[in-house]
Chain A
């Protein structure tokens, strides 16, 4: 049994933590939250220089050729720091989609530039305030041209290309869904920023009108590939969520130890102690579920879909809980704009919705369990 990260991976994590503590204090997150810049360009540049963007991209395509485990430890630290960069869109989603389904030419064309940070990619699935399903997808792909509206798309305003989930003319049911790569700077694409709950991560509405589109993956497999991309991203994002949840616990603990009421530290009241103990329990469960996801991802195990759902449900729950109880622990101060509590509260909700709400993943999890029990 060796259910842990290696010493090298732990060292990478430590380095990442140190780097981000220095380059991405919450002050930097606020700057994006309150300003007009869509993301922290200086930070993004340094992240690219360190090679993080190409962590799981093979060396032949310009990446570091490490594995997903390395990506997991980096993700946790990005989550802890609330890094305001398009990492999840470009790395967990666009890069993973290309690694999974890209042709050799597509990989050669996109991966080296994704690895170097020269281009940013994103994944365009959502079409407004409802869960995207095989039935609901309206964007359509005909004769190499894409039309439709996708919103809200994380980093859609800054990405150079998007992997778009659309309905093709052929096939029925799932088989009718196709994936296409679309140049977001090319013809037929207009985009406008969308205001969201978490302005530290930018979002956009993208309108396609006969935009030139190149197919990604085999015809008829679009939905299946999209699901697999989401599974992989869910595991990586779970590490971000665990990092964020951990940061909330640390923040709550620190405040509780230093704040006095009724002549004593508020950390000595059981209502606070037990709240933080519960936070710890949920965070540990989430971390362990994320570990299982990391294992499944790194070994491409058949359990991957189940592991992804478990990691996502657990991490979304833990981060939401930690972020709200962190505010509660801070009392009135917690409700101010000035304190950082709300940055975590916003990010927790944003990440919890980003790849589909936990409700949807719970349903998927049971579908996997049903299959397993029948087998």
Chain B
């Protein structure tokens, strides 16, 4: 048993590190990133910086390490991807913006579209020139996304699309999207769906940013009014949209070593705060209750880290990762919420301040306001528990009242 780098891995780490040193600045000692999109003056500015960094990475073939060389990747292993992510996380670089596209949408296109289409899209996506979004959720279909209403109707060699998506991250700056639609309302709901790729700049597409409780507006409502797409933009067979969507979501889960680290202050930042903060009886770090809390979160984080190592070991031996890979978000998101709330408690009455007036540039407060979204996006805590219970433990599915009923006869609510 060992998780030290093999000689090959160590060599790769050294290469990556040298490249990062030549191209980026290390993070400051406090760990807070000036390049974090949430600290940028404007989204436009953040996007510009992120695109420039993505282009650099693509040139060095680090933008998609596990993709084959002919698609602009490095043809590397998942472990190399993790090594890269570990090293990159020590540098102050602007990331985000591209994960949905490169992690989910573009792989789906590559899986289902013809070669020419893939060739058209892959390289601009990997260089960060074109951004993709995922148009699945609707006002009446989130967890139950197969209940969606957006209609696509065949008209000659084209499809005409009408309806509305919601919560679409990045739709307002995206160039393309993959869109799940209903093509047969008379079929049971999972059977009448079809997937397309669309241009977000096409006439008939309108993205309206929605202001989040955290203040920003990263997600959108997207309206389709007589949007016309060619039949050649269809991904997978007519009526097979659910299968295609599952491919997309599978890619999301396979993105090991990607995001799951959470997006915000973690145990190290909390330790730092505890050291600096004076409580009634001395520095917070000496307070037993504080120590106990930090230890608990640390152990959860470490448990997850070593779970990832177990997953990677399985991958490196060529076997399919075990179900342990599915626990990440359910651990990370509630921890992010509770840990940052506790950090604010340490700041006591002053913890209510936000932004530059708050300690650590308000990073704890920001994470506190963002964490509720992480518990919902990409499968809610409850849906993830269902997935673990059903797919990992083999417990029965929920009782369904909508199974073999034609979609257009299903009851609807708010």
A residues with a Cβ closer than 8 A to B are: 1-6, 69, 249, 253, 256-257, 264-265, 267-268, 270, 272-274, 276-278, 280-281, 284-289, 291-292, 294-295, 298-299, 309-310, 313-314, 317, 359, 361-363, 365-366, 369-370, 373
B371 within 8 A of A: no
The 8 closest A-B pairs by CB, nearest first: A285-B303, A362-B295, A273-B389, A288-B306, A277-B388, A3-B309, A277-B385, A268-B396
How long is the Cα–Cα vector from A273 to B386 in the complex, in angstroms? Answer: 7
Pairs A–B under 8 Å by Cβ, sample size 8 = A1-B6, A1-B9, A270-B386, A274-B389, A288-B310, A291-B310, A292-B302, A359-B292
Q: Mark B277-303, 1 if CB is under 8 A from A, else 0.
A: 000000001001001101110111011
B399 within 8 A of A: yes
List B2-26 residues whose CB lies under 8 Å from chain A: 2-3, 5-6, 9
- A278 adjacent to B1 (CB under 8 Å): no
Interface of A is mostly: helix
Residues in A whose Cβ lies below 8 Å from that of B330: 277, 281
- A362 adjacent to B310 (CB under 8 Å): no
Residues in A whose Cβ lies below 8 Å from that of B5: 1
- A1 adjacent to B385 (CB under 8 Å): no
A346 CB to closest chain B CB (Å) equals 24
A361 CB to closest chain B CB (Å) equals 8
- A363 adjacent to B292 (CB under 8 Å): yes
How long is the Cα–Cα vector from A370 to B284 in the complex, in angstroms? Answer: 12
How long is the Cα–Cα vector from A228 to B401 in the complex, in angstroms? Answer: 58
Residues in B whose Cβ lies below 8 Å from that of A366: 285, 291, 294-295
B12 CB to closest chain A CB (Å) equals 12
Residues in B whose Cβ lies below 8 Å from that of A256: 395
Residues in A whose Cβ lies below 8 Å from that of B398: 268, 270
Residues in A whose Cβ lies below 8 Å from that of B296: 313, 362
- B385 adjacent to A284 (CB under 8 Å): no
- B312 adjacent to A277 (CB under 8 Å): no
Residues in A whose Cβ lies below 8 Å from that of B331: 281, 285
B77 CB to closest chain A CB (Å) equals 10
- A292 adjacent to B306 (CB under 8 Å): yes
B residues with a Cβ closer than 8 A to A are: 1-3, 5-6, 9, 79, 268, 271-272, 285, 288, 291-292, 294-296, 298-300, 302-307, 309-310, 312-314, 316, 324, 327, 330-331, 382, 384-386, 388-390, 392-399
Residues in B whose Cβ lies below 8 Å from that of A280: 327, 388, 392-393
- Within the complex, which residue of B268, B307, B384, B386 is in contact with A284, where a contact is CB–CB below 8 Å? B307
Beyond A288-B307, A373-B268, A373-B272, list 13 extra A-B contacts (CB 8 Å): A3-B1, A69-B1, A249-B393, A267-B395, A272-B395, A274-B389, A281-B330, A284-B303, A288-B304, A288-B324, A291-B310, A313-B296, A366-B295
Residues in B whose Cβ lies below 8 Å from that of A286: 303
- Within the complex, which residue of A277, A295, A314, A363 is in contact with B299, where a contact is CB–CB below 8 Å? A314
Chain A residue with Cβ nearest B304: A285
- B291 adjacent to A362 (CB under 8 Å): yes
Residues in A whose Cβ lies below 8 Å from that of B386: 270, 273-274, 277
A153 CB to closest chain B CB (Å) equals 27
Residues in B whose Cβ lies below 8 Å from that of A289: 299, 302-303, 306
- A273 adjacent to B390 (CB under 8 Å): yes
Chain B residue with Cβ nearest A265: B396
Most chain A CB within a 10 A radius of its CB, from B291, B299, B397: B299
Most chain A CB within a 10 A radius of its CB, from B288, B304, B327, B394: B327
Most chain A CB within a 10 A radius of its CB, from B1, B310, B316: B1
How long is the Cα–Cα vector from A317 to B299 in the complex, in angstroms? Answer: 11
B190 CB to closest chain A CB (Å) equals 20
B344 CB to closest chain A CB (Å) equals 20
- B388 adjacent to A365 (CB under 8 Å): no
Chain A residue with Cβ nearest B3: A3
A177 CB to closest chain B CB (Å) equals 23
- Within the complex, which residue of A268, A277, A295 is in contact with B393, where a contact is CB–CB below 8 Å? A277
The verdict on A365 contacting B313 (CB below 8 Å), with A268-B396, A273-B386, A298-B1 known, is no
A270 CB to closest chain B CB (Å) equals 7
The verdict on A264 contacting B399 (CB below 8 Å), with A284-B307, A363-B295, A370-B285 known, is yes
How long is the Cα–Cα vector from A22 to B386 in the complex, in angstroms? Answer: 34
- A274 adjacent to B382 (CB under 8 Å): yes
- B389 adjacent to A291 (CB under 8 Å): no
Residues in A whose Cβ lies below 8 Å from that of B306: 3, 288-289, 291-292
How long is the Cα–Cα vector from A293 to B21 in the complex, in angstroms? Answer: 33
How long is the Cα–Cα vector from A166 to B298 in the complex, in angstroms? Answer: 33
- B1 adjacent to A294 (CB under 8 Å): yes
Residues in A whose Cβ lies below 8 Å from that of B395: 253, 256-257, 267-268, 272-273, 276
Residues in A whose Cβ lies below 8 Å from that of B388: 277, 280-281
B266 CB to closest chain A CB (Å) equals 12
Most chain B CB within a 10 A radius of its CB, from A2, A5, A270, A295: A2
How long is the Cα–Cα vector from A317 to B3 in the complex, in angstroms? Answer: 25
A365 CB to closest chain B CB (Å) equals 5
- B291 adjacent to A4 (CB under 8 Å): no
